């Protein structure tokens, strides 16, 4: 049972354009959502997070949107840069457990 789903395994975007990565979840007990970025031969690194009490969090070129009624969150990268090319994992934690449940990842390629 996949509680966190990233239905797009890959995304290709031109440099300078917006990248939108999507994530759906099924567990209404999730209270915190995070995005991690992973380059080849490296471990995932934390990118941005959002609490379930908010609907938007912004950090520079990265913005995460949360739609609780739809159980959907998205990561917007504007403008996209070649260095953003990586695999992006959506993750969620259940209230009071501190365990993270990860999605399957979306490979983003930003081309010139």
Instruction: Mark residues 26-55: x for contact with other proteins by CB under 8 A, - for none.
Output: ------x-x-x----xxxxxx--x------
What b/e sequence results for 79-90 when a residue is b if at least 16 CB atoms lie within 10 Å of its CB, and e otherwise? ebeeebbbbbbb
Closest to other proteins by CB, 63 vs 89, is 89
Q: Quote the CA–CA distance of 44 and 71 in Å, as a whole number.
A: 24
Show contacts with other proteins in window 80-109 (CB under 8 A): 89, 91, 93, 97-105
Closest to other proteins by CB, 67 vs 97, is 97
Binding of other proteins at residue 65 (CB under 8 A)? no
Query: What are 30's two structure tokens?
Result: 């999730």
Beta strands, E only, the chain: 4-5, 10-14, 19-25, 30-38, 45-51, 56-59, 62-67, 72-77, 86-94, 100-102, 106-111
- For residue 107, the minimal CB distance to other proteins (Å) is 11
Binding of other proteins at residue 69 (CB under 8 A)? no
Binding site residues, other proteins, CB under 8 A? 4, 6, 9, 32, 34, 36, 41-46, 49, 89, 91, 93, 97-105
């Amino acid at each position: 049972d996949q509680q966190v789903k990233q239905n797009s395994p890959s995304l290709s975007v031109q440099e300078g354009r917006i990248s939108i990565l999507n994530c759906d979840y099924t567990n209404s007990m999730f209270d915190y959502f995070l995005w991690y970025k992973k380059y080849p031969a490296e471990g995932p690194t934390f990118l941005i997070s959002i609490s379930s009490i908010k609907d938007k969090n912004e950090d520079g070129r990265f913005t995460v949107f949360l739609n609780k009624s739809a159980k959907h969150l998205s990561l917007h990268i504007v403008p996209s840069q070649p260095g953003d090319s990586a695999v992006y994992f959506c993750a969620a934690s259940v209230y009071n457990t501190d365990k993270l449940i990860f999605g399957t990842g979306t490979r983003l390629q930003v081309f010139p």
